[in-house]
A and B are shown apart, each in its own frame.
Chain A
Amino acid sequence: MLDATQSTVRPLVEVTGLKMYFPILTGILRRHTGDVKAVDGVSFSIQPGETLGLVGESGCGKSTVGRALLRLYEPTAGKVVIDGEDVASLDAEALRRKRPAMQMVFQDPQASLNPRMTVADIIGEPLIEHANMSEQDRLRRIYELMDQVGLNRSFANRYPYAFSGGQRQRIGIARALALNPRFIVCDEPIAALDVSIQAQVVNLLEDLQDRLGLTYLFISHDLSMVRHIADRVAVMYLGRIAELSPRDALYARPLHPYAEALLSAVNEPDPNRARRQRIILKGDVPSPANPPKGCNFCTRCPKVFDLCRSVKPELAEVEPGRFVACHLYADTKTAAGANRTATEAKS
């Protein structure tokens, strides 16, 4: 696995100032009265072969980031450069040609497979759309993919209902792999699965990454699983990245108060080990339609002070490879990160 701090390689995915606002239309005239700021200025980059974990609680905009990256939503602002091309501004035909390079594995394996198509049809769909193959070649490729994800070839004729959740997710992964993508967004691929199956699927994903050199954006709310698979982890809160750090550093010593609180909730499997003090946050997440004026986390932050309520903190490198958006670390901001421009995410 790659060490996150090495930055000589050009990143495969570079997201700058990504914003995804969903308009709120009210009244009979459907007037535009506000926006749900699902993603509000997110910037990060992913190196080739790396896995970036994206964690956060429900509704913080993780899935929206994943979908906007593949332009399943039209981003409101920002750049998404994947392999040298800005996906956010490509025209329809260029986007279609770009699609094979980036694929997605979906959360609900039940919903992500068309119930009226056979496994062969589902896995073959990307091939029909993009690869100009003969039927024989396509079938060979489908079987090859089924082998790759550990599905028995005799299942090719069956329909999704006949499979367990784990097998369905394998079908979804095979479909994502069909066009040899370089970058895969895994949108909570294990959230709908049993714990025993989760491990299988995650191991499959890791295995495929080693064999095919894939780059993942791994979206999850399962912190232990992210710890297992990710190289670097971005913690999101209310549409913004709170902290972006290498995995080990983050889990050992989270810097942002929100990351700290979130990670304190991870259960320690060994009861003899000393448990981290749980930090219990008070109150609810503010509405993304009306976020607080200063730091998004200022309404619940245990370490809040005046500045937090008036000025939004920027994501800045406070230690080598560690980016935090918090005024607590503002004094170190100027010292570090002169050459790293991971964020100019203010609009």
Chain B
Amino acid sequence: MTELKLEKPRSQWRDVWAQFRRHKGAMAALVLLIALASFVLIGPLVWRIDPNFIEPNTAKMFKLRNLGPSWDHPLGTDQLGRDMLARMMFGGRISLAVGSVAMLVALFIGTTIGVLAGYFRRLDSWLMRLTDLFLALPLLPLLLVMMFLFRETVAGIMGPRLGTFMLIVVAIGITSWMQAARVVRGEVLALKEREFVLAARSVGTPARRIITRHILTNVLSPVLVAATLGIAAAIITESVLSFLGLGFPPDFPTWGRLLYDGIDAIRTYPERVVWPGLAISLTVLSVNYIGDGLRDALDPRIRGR
């Protein structure tokens, strides 16, 4: 055989992309998510109003309160006369960042614990009791205590903003990994007995590479589902914390914060609840659809049909 007969197997990522593009919902969701992301990232560069700007002149400030949509303030103003559009943009940055990073943290912990518990029988009971322990803990008080105890320390190390962000992300992450861990463990327990894992063992593949090569690739679908749900849960949890005064500082807008601020005035100014609510829902929806499309695209059995 000569060299030229050796055609290299082509990369599968083009197939994945081709299949992903065939999923209409996922493509629409991807466009939507990109739109949302550019709204919060590029938006503030165009719409240059400080979201925390309150008119210092009290008389003027009173006139600026609770305005409806206008050319100056397309989404109106809030009860202190701050521009809602600017607040939505800045709030979105925080919410999206908290949602995705906290989800990644939760997913990382959950998948690690799930895989270890499922694959290594000796660790199973210990890790699953730990999971049960976390599931049984009342999460909100735990979160509050964590925030209360560590906020000053972390803020001292990393600065108030980054410190709060890291603390919130880690706090949400380590209180929401349990579902993922249980689902992954169940999948791994089933996968471990499949013959292809046995075949890999008979080849002499060490456990760590069996896990990365055979187990992790096959637990992808439940992990993706957990991830999409996790983003939504993280955004909501962050808003709960902010609402209780233990998240970001009160003048620091996030979508969840805006939502809670708006609730007081929901009868008179329903749009103040609608906009952040809509933004959160659209984010969750689009992430969900993208996860769906990604799962299909990464499954070779569905791909190419």
Interface residues of A (CB under 8 A from B): 67, 70, 72, 95-97, 99-100, 102-104, 106-108, 111-118, 120, 125-126, 129-130, 136, 139-140, 143-144, 153, 156-157, 159, 161-162, 172, 175, 179
Contacts and interface: CB of A to CB of B under 8 A. Distances in A.
Given A72-B198, A118-B12, A159 B205 contact: no
Interface residues of B, number: 32
Contacts of B208: none
B300 interface: yes
A96 B206 contact: yes
A157 B195 CA distance: 21
A161 to B, nearest CB: 5
A114 B214 contact: yes
A167 B163 CA distance: 57
A118 B300 CA distance: 9
B94 to A, nearest CB: 36
B6 A111 contact: no
Contact of A104 (B1, B9, B199): B199
A106 B301 CA distance: 21
B204 A99 contact: yes
B199 A95 contact: no
A15 to B, nearest CB: 17
Interface in B157-214: 194-196, 198-206, 209, 213-214
Contacts of A95: 204
Contacts of B196: 111-114
Contact of A143 (B6, B204, B301): B6
A99 B6 contact: no
Contacts of A117: 213, 217
A99 B203 contact: yes
Contact of B213 (A111, A125, A144): A125
B301 A159 contact: yes
A274 B88 CA distance: 90
Given A111-B195, A118-B12, A140-B6, A159 B300 contact: yes
A115 B6 contact: no
A155 B198 CA distance: 24
Interface string B241-254: 00000000000000
The 4 A-B pairs with the shortest beta carbon distances in the complex, nearest first, are A99-B204, A159-B300, A112-B195, A111-B195
11 contacts: A67-B198, A106-B198, A106-B199, A111-B196, A114-B214, A116-B217, A118-B12, A136-B3, A153-B5, A175-B199, A175-B203
